[in-house]
Amino acid sequence: MKLFITALILMMGISPECPADNPENGKVYTLPAPSIKGAMSVEEALQQRRSRRQFLDKELSIEQLSQILWSAYGITVKRDDYPVLRGGLRTAPSAGALYPLEIYVLIGNVKGIEPGLYKYNSKEHSIKCTISGDLRKDACSAAYNQKMLREAPATLFYSAVFERCTKKYRERGKERYVCMDLGHSAENVYLQAEALHLGTCAVGAFSDEALKKLLQLPADEEPLYMMPFGYCK
């Protein structure tokens, strides 16, 4: 029976390191549609934006989570005619519209969502559980014990498939464009967090190896950023 379940999991593309009998693995949550009207102007968000590092472990709503993920890489113009777009044009610009980034979110304390690691699907505006359980302590140790990773109710992780960009742009894609894309998306998250009266901080100091292992990244994905977010102390 165990062998059968493991084979099934492998066929579904889920890591066999997830306990096979955990019903949360592979579970998909469709997120509520993002709001495109907010209480704060973009100018106010720019004026107030700061890197915030002290979070309350206060529950976030699924609407707040939806808004943060949408600001990072949500689809704003659907395009199914051009497969390389993987769904359409997004909130953040991308060199050649190649969208090399992948976004994961670690859920610790979000109402109605089991703690775990989830992968964001821009096209469906949904998240899918890849590893269940509260992984905040592991994220904190991967980031050389930066406390905010342990305290924040949720953290975005960015990784990149460099090949999507280097196929067209060669070295320039690797040395410049992928990280430029990342900066655009991460700034969106900063501004969206401010506009929701939440806070975030871009974190680039972490062990690549530890993070790859924690996120169980495929071999062609490199981790780039962590962005814990939540209510600030």
Ligand X SMILES: Cc1cc2nc3c(=O)[nH]c(=O)nc-3n(C[C@H](O)[C@H](O)[C@H](O)COP(=O)(O)O)c2cc1C
Question: Interface residues with ligand X (CB under 6 A)?
Answer: 50-51, 53, 146, 201-205
Which of 36/205 has CB closer to ligand X?
Answer: 205
Say which residue the tokens 């991308």 belong to.
94
Q: For the chain, how big is the Rg over CA atoms in Å?
A: 17
Return the residue nearest ligand X (CB atom). 204
Taking the complex as a whole, the smallest distance from the CB of residue 204 to ligand X amounts, in Å, to 3
Taking the complex as a whole, the smallest distance from the CB of residue 75 to ligand X amounts, in Å, to 26
Which of 113/203 has CB closer to ligand X?
Answer: 203
Q: Is 233 exposed, middle or buried, given 0-12, 13-18 or 19+ CB atoms closer than 10 A?
A: exposed
CA angle 185, 196, 123 (to 5 degrees): 45
Which of 14/224 has CB closer to ligand X?
Answer: 224
Taking the complex as a whole, the smallest distance from the CB of residue 50 to ligand X amounts, in Å, to 4
Which of 85/186 has CB closer to ligand X?
Answer: 186
Which of 50/58 has CB closer to ligand X?
Answer: 50
Taking the complex as a whole, the smallest distance from the CB of residue 232 to ligand X amounts, in Å, to 12
* Distance, CA of 184 to CA of 189 (rounded, Å): 9
CB 182, CB 100: distance < 8 Å:
no
Taking the complex as a whole, the smallest distance from the CB of residue 113 to ligand X amounts, in Å, to 26
Backbone angles phi, psi at 53, to 5 degrees: -120, 0
CA angle 1, 215, 157 (to 5 degrees): 145
Q: Is 24 exposed, middle or buried, given 0-12, 13-18 or 19+ CB atoms closer than 10 A?
A: middle
CB 120, CB 68: distance < 8 Å:
no
Taking the complex as a whole, the smallest distance from the CB of residue 26 to ligand X amounts, in Å, to 31
Which of 82/144 has CB closer to ligand X?
Answer: 144
